[in-house]
């Protein structure tokens, strides 16, 4: 590129409708001019999870408003854009389709080039947007929908070093919170309760730590928590607040231990000198601290983007799209929504898609 350019990003793969404008500089450093996110929590709350049909409809209703807002905040018009980047998967089919069709409409109306972005690439490249890090680096993506280690060597070169074989950690936090009568999202609720609990009161498993490799499992941990809870209820006829806090602390510590040890292994396998995290679970202060310590143990630098860029947003899609645009990637009207789209074609994810999309 011979001059800086603006790119519009669109995201609608799960339960956040988002649009953003990012300006890519000649030095490869990007600047976020605007980032609008419309969450859908209230539409799904009564169902205890994301309802795909409701999500798709809400995206369709909000994406134009969200885009107009992002352009307005960036003080730009569509004619100031050089390209449009849109999440083309993985995620809920109806949601991804809403974004892709909307982006195609803009591309057809303006003649702007269209670039389909893998949502996971958006997350994985975020440390380049926020901290300008060079390739290669190791990314740990931990959210309600995803859990994997990715060695990132270029904007189109990802190697999956390991990941969950069942639930994502955020999903496990959410299910654990439900089992303990806490509200959703479960992660922040458990973190809060755990502060006054003793993590050693209940002995919960550290799944797959006894096995080589960087794969993880969190669904057994949730079942172990259920058994521990039922054991207390059978003995005492109910849970005291202290029992609940102890269960939360024990659960959180089990997740921390698994993530820390698998991170050390993944840094070693990938021979990486930078560990970056993304995803809602990275908001957990205790988890952040153990990941930072694990990186330190391996002589690696730890990077955690600001929370609003750890969770779903369109700035990461615009930025990934800008990197792909520079490399010459272009899509056209045949761009398809891909509910499943493993980033690493050499070692694709082991798990399927759950309530919040592809987990690994």
Piece of 102-110, 200-208, 274-282, 336-344 that binds ligand KG4 (CB under 6 A): 274-282
Q: Which is nearer to Zn ion, 177 or 317 (CB)?
A: 317
The item of ligand KG4, Zn ion, none sharing an interface with residue 281, based on CB under 5 to 8 Å by kind, is ligand KG4
39, 185, 205, 220: which one binds ligand KG4 (CB under 6 A) = 185
16 binds Zn ion per the rule CB under 5 A: no
17 binds ligand KG4 per the rule CB under 6 A: no
95 binds ligand KG4 per the rule CB under 6 A: no
Q: Which two tokens stand for residue 222?
A: 């949730």
Q: Which is nearer to ligand KG4, 6 or 130 (CB)?
A: 130
Rounded distance between C-alpha atoms, residue 224 and residue 205, angstroms: 7
| CB-based contact 193:186 (threshold 8 Å) | no
44, 59, 356, 359: which one binds ligand KG4 (CB under 6 A) = 356
| CB-based contact 298:261 (threshold 8 Å) | no
Q: Quickly list DSSP for 135-159.
A: SPEEEEEESSS-EEEEEEEETTEEE
Piece of 1-9, 267-275, 307-315, 342-350 that binds Zn ion (CB under 5 A): 307-315
Q: Which is nearer to Zn ion, 167 or 312 (CB)?
A: 312
The item of ligand KG4, Zn ion, none sharing an interface with residue 321, based on CB under 5 to 8 Å by kind, is none
At its nearest, how many Å lie between ligand KG4 and the CB of residue 122?
Answer: 11
Determine which helix (DSSP H) or strand (DSSP E) holds 27, and give its type and residue range: none
Q: Which two tokens stand for residue 334?
A: 């045949």
φ, ψ dihedrals at 327, nearest 5°: -75, -5
At its nearest, how many Å lie between Zn ion and the CB of residue 63?
Answer: 17
Short-list 150, 160, 146, 131, CA closest to 304: 131
Q: What angle do CA 87, 89, 91 make, to 5 degrees?
A: 110
Rounded distance between C-alpha atoms, residue 90 and residue 37, angstroms: 19
9 binds ligand KG4 per the rule CB under 6 A: no
Q: Report in angstroms the alpha-carbon separations of 266 from 214, 260, 262, 303.
A: 6, 10, 6, 16
Piece of 73-81, 152-160, 246-254, 312-320 that binds Zn ion (CB under 5 A): 312-320
312 binds Zn ion per the rule CB under 5 A: yes
Task: Identify how many contiguous H helices and E strands the chain contains and give both numbers.
Answer: 11, 12
144, 199, 250, 305: which one binds ligand KG4 (CB under 6 A) = 144
Size of the site for Zn ion (CB under 5 A): 1
Q: What residue number has its CB nearest to Zn ion?
A: 312
Q: What are the strands, taking DSSP E only, across 202-334? A: 274-278, 301-303
Piece of 153-161, 179-187, 214-222, 342-350 that binds ligand KG4 (CB under 6 A): 179-187
Determine which helix (DSSP H) or strand (DSSP E) holds 99, and give its type and residue range: helix 93-110
Site of interaction with ligand KG4 (CB under 6 A): 14, 143-145, 170-171, 173-174, 185-188, 191, 279-281, 283-284, 311-312, 356
Site of interaction with Zn ion (CB under 5 A): 312
């Amino acid at each position: 590129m011979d001059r800086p350019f603006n790119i519009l990003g669109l995201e609608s793969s799960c339960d956040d409708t988002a649009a953003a404008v990012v300006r890519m500089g000649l030095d490869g450093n990007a600047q976020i001019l605007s980032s609008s996110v419309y969450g859908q929590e209230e539409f799904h709350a009564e169902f205890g999870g994301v309802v795909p049909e409701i999500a798709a409809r809400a995206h369709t209703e909000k994406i134009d408003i969200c885009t107009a807002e992002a352009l307005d905040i960036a003080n730009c018009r569509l004619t100031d854009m050089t390209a449009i980047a849109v999440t083309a998967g993985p995620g809920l089919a109806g949601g991804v389709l809403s974004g892709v069709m909307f982006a195609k409409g803009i591309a057809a109306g303006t003649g702007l080039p269209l670039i389909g972005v893998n949502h996971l690439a958006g997350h994985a490249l975020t440390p380049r947007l926020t901290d300008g890090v060079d390739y290669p680096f190791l990314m740990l993506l931990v959210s309600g929908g995803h859990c994997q280690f990715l060695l990132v060597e270029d904007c189109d070169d990802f190697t999956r070093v390991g990941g969950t074989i069942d639930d994502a950690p955020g999903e496990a936090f959410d299910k654990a919170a439900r089992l303990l009568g806490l509200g959703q999202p479960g992660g922040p609720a458990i973190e809060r309760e755990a502060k006054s609990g003793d993590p050693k009161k209940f002995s919960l498993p550290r799944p797959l730590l006894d096995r080589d490799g960087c794969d993880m499992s969190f669904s057994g941990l949730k079942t172990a928590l259920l058994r521990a809870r039922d054991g207390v209820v059978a003995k005492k006829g109910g849970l005291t607040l202290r029992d609940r806090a102890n269960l939360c602390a024990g659960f959180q510590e089990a997740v921390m231990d698994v993530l820390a040890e698998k991170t050390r292994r993944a840094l070693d396998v990938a021979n990486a000198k930078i560990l970056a995290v993304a995803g809602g679970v990275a908001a957990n202060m205790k988890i952040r601290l153990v990941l930072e310590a694990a990186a330190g143990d391996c002589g690696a630098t730890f990077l955690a983007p600001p929370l609003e860029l750890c969770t779903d947003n369109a700035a990461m899609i615009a930025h990934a799209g800008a990197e792909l645009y520079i490399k010459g990637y272009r899509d056209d009207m045949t761009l398809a929504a891909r509910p499943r789209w493993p980033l690493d074609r050499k070692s694709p994810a082991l798990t399927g898609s759950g309530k919040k999309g592809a987990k690994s």
